[in-house]
Amino acid sequence: MDELDSAIIRLLQTDARQSNRELARQLGIAPSTCLERVRSLTRRGVIRGYHADIDPAALNRGVQAMVSVQVRPLSRAVINTFKESAAAMPEVLSVFVLAGGDDFLLHVGVRDLDHLHGFLLDRLSKRKEIVGFRTSVVFQQVQKAVPTRLEDT
């Protein structure tokens, strides 16, 4: 990755819907050069896709929480099964598999606190592989672009 690749990524993270021509104009390069660079970044797996930034509250998910989950027994089968089942739950926005004291971190989005309580009691506490969980309600989220180089951090 060179400076041009880093600049392309920064601009796409800001607005992935801009045209190749607009991206090239901002970078001061030819559209053909820009298109080839973007294609190369995609082929190399640096760019994995383009996504819409959705407001969870607009989709009736005004309450978000992070739920730390511990499962037992710790085995590949248990971890894979729980990961897949958690990802399929409509309340779960993201699933993170962790090392350390917790095995999973679930990012959950629900209508209100009553629905969060119901999710915890009716969905999680009934699963036999879960030996414990802790919930933290999210008040605010600041999402930032991924730095393109370690020097940017």
Note whether 66 and 130 are same-domain residues: yes
Note whether 78 and 124 are same-domain residues: yes
Q: H helices within the chain, ranges in order? A: 3-14, 20-27, 31-43, 76-88, 113-118
Query: What pLDDT shows up at residue 19?
Result: 96
pLDDT range class, residue 1, cuts 50, 70, 90: confident
Full domain range(s) for residue 127: 56-138
Query: What pLDDT shows up at residue 25?
Result: 97
Q: H helices within 28-136, ranges in order? A: 31-43, 76-88, 113-118
The verdict on residue 150 lying in a domain is no
Query: What pLDDT shows up at residue 133?
Result: 97
Note whether 74 and 129 are same-domain residues: yes
Note whether 14 and 69 are same-domain residues: no
The verdict on residue 133 lying in a domain is yes
pLDDT digit string, tens, across residues 36-88: 999 999 999 999 999 888 888 899 999 999 999 999 999 999 999 999 999 99
CATH label of the domain that carries residue 64: 3.30.70.920
CATH label of the domain that carries residue 20: 1.10.10.10
Query: What pLDDT shows up at residue 143?
Result: 84
pLDDT digit string, tens, across residues 74-118: 999 999 999 999 999 999 999 999 999 999 999 999 999 999 999
Query: What pLDDT shows up at residue 152?
Result: 52
Query: What pLDDT shows up at residue 146?
Result: 83
Note whether 62 and 39 are same-domain residues: no
How many domains in the chain? 2
Q: How many CB atoms lie within 10 A of CB 71?
A: 21
- Higher pLDDT: 151 or 27? It is 27
pTM of the model: 0.82
Phi, psi of 91 (to 5 degrees): -75, -20
